[in-house]
Structures are given as structure tokens and as C-alpha cells.
Amino acid sequence: MKIKFKSLLFASLISITVCTSVYAQKFEELAQTPPMGWNSWNTFQTRIDEPLLKGMDAGYTYFVLDDGWMAMERDKDGNLVADPKKFPNGMKEFADYVHSKGLKFGIYNCAGTKTCAGYPGTRGYEYQDARLYASWGVDYLKFDWCNTEGINAKEAYTTMSKAIRAAGRPMVFSLCEWGQHMPWKWAKDVGQLWRSTGDIGNAFEKTEERNGWKPLSVLNILDRQDSIRQYAGPGHWNDPDMLEVGNGMSYNEDKAHFSLWCMLAAPLMAGNDLRKMSEQTRSVLTNKDIIAVDQDPLGVEAFRYYAADGLEVWVKPLANNELAVCFLNRSAIPLNVSYDWKQHLINDAVSKTSVDFNQSHYKLRDLWTKKETGTTNKIFKQTINSHDVVVLRLTKE
């Protein structure tokens, strides 16, 4: 596991402060910016083992094992056991190895009786499993929602949150409930992030059915985010699912996907095969200027400001009275953009941001070309290719 580009990713270790309030549930100081890491599922599903994982060129902060890491049965004491063929040295040793590389370690289980792939779930074992994870040194728990018939989502996730708290080791708690029970309305005090939709697939616009199930595309998921942005912020994030950058979309689509997730202040969990990453894919995942938009400390999600004829304009208020503006071409043809800033006033009730470009002037920096592109005093003109974006950072003159 070589750490080649970690320093480029603006991913610093999060300081941990344990809240001592008797009412405390989750560890409040975790994930003050959206978590960044790598997850094994999108590329490998359950086909993971220690040699494969140690060969990953891992970056960001969290290295997360998804479904398939465990044996098919608990041991005689009811404890989860790492699959001895996949992890012959046990999970504590693997967690220590991840930590030795300067990363934080994440693991997966499920609120139901079995995981989505049929391994032992956590229902009825919440406190026992949390203690086990703590003993292994787990820093991040992704908690899925398969095999949960008759289970109340809020109750199940609250119980696991309390179990993590009782185990005493700060862990980021990722609620992977697919947005079915509107977790954004109740999970702020339960976990640090919650899935807002079903699973993503490696397609920008349309996905194909897989074994009777159809994943969502990048644009499918994007269209479900704008109405829930008010529920997200430092320590509690809407999660539009993991990244499909490097998994088969075009370069333009990868750029757009990554840019939009950063505009949404989304957790950034890469899901590609890091051993076979192209330079184009690497350039997307390591664009520190785009990542800085995601990691902005104000923690405000973007909103769709304008949409017409395949063009969308997304606006994300940033700290220090700056803005990020993303022009998205959803159409199948190039679009010529002519955008008069002075005709477009910004009023965002969520962040209390108000900008009149007739009164306030901003410098423009293109975050993909790394070039200054004028100011808001002039009409912005550019041709944007199909399924591509232009992302500008606006700084007051």
C-alpha cells in the first residue's frame, strides 16, 4: 500500500474531542468536513483479501473494507471473525497495517440479521460488535440496511450509535440506509453521514439493469440532492454515495461527477482499482482546488441556481465570502455559455448568502484549467462539452 499522493488531497487527520455531555450520542467533533477515503465495494464487491488490499495505492484519509471481509458464521462466543482465507493474520493486524501507513481504518456491517452479501449482520449484537471494532482500532463504520424486515430504521441506527459511544473509541458512523426513511430529518445526532439515495452505478446519465436491480446514475442522484441541502453541515453530511471516477465513464463525465460531489459537500469515497489508475483518473481524484471546495469549512451544500436547455448552474457559498460556481452541460451536444453575472443575483436562505454582482465584484479562477478567467464585471463566455463542467472559484476583488 503505497501512499503516493496523499499529501495532495487536503485530507488531514481530524482532531478528536470527546464530548462529556450526558446527552451525547455520537462523537461530535468527527467529520467537521466531509470524510475522504477509499472503499472496496464499487470495484471488488466481496472479492477482497489481504494481498489485494495491501497492493492498493491508497490516499485520502479512510481505508474502508466493505461487505465480504468476515467469515460466514460468528464464533462460539458470538463474535464476528475475519475470513481466515482472506485475512489470515486477522483484522487487528490488518487495521494496524493500515494505521502504519498513516491512514484511518474503516469497516462494514449491516443493521439487519445478515449483510447484503449474506454474511452475519449486527441485529442483536450491536454492543458486542462495537466493542470488537474498538478493540481492532476501527475509525469508521459503514452500516448498511439489508435484511431489515420489521426493523425501525431510526431505532436500529440509534442503537448502533449508542453502542459505538459506549465502546469508547471515536468512530465516524456512516448510515447506509439509502434514504428510504428520510435520515436527514433524524440522523444529525446519530451519525456523521447518511446515504440520501440508493446505490450509484458507473454511468453519468443512464444505467443498465443488473440482475433485476437498476443502480442510479450520477445525474439521477444529483437531482435528489437540492431539496435536502438544509440538513447538512459540519459533522452531519448528506451522502450521495461513493465515487465512480475511474470506473468506465468518460474523462469529461469523471470530471463532472467529481466536481458535482465536491459542490454538494459530499463525502469523497473513491471506489476504483487504485492499482490500475490512469493519469487522467489520478488528475481528477487529486485536484486539490476542487477538493478544497468540498472541504470548505463553511460546510454548505450547493444549490441549483439555474437550469434551461441542458445547462445548469450550481452555486456553493464558501468561507470568507467566496463562492464556487459550477456550469454543468447535461446535454449530448456542446453548449455555448454566455452568462451575465449582473443579471443573476444570489440569495441563499440556507447560508444567508446574498450577492449582487452590480455592487460586488469577484475575480474568477477556473479550477480545472488552473487559470484566472476574468471578473464578474464581464459576461462569462465559454463552450462546454457534453457531460462536462466548468468550475469557477469567485474571490472578491
| Annotated catalytic residue, options 66, 129, 139, 144 | 144
Tally Cβ neighbours within 10 Å of residue 301. Answer: 24
Grid coordinates 448498511 are at which residue?
Answer: 144
Phi and psi (nearest 5°) for 136?
Answer: -80, -20
**Strands 172-175 and 140-144, bridge-based pairing:** parallel
199 is catalytic: yes
Q: What's the grid cell of residue 85? A: 482465507
- In whole angstroms, give the CA distance from residue 247 to residue 345: 38
144 is catalytic: yes
- In whole angstroms, give the CA distance from residue 305 to residue 254: 22
| Annotated catalytic residue, options 66, 83, 139, 199 | 199
Which sequence positions are flagged as catalytic?
Answer: 144, 199
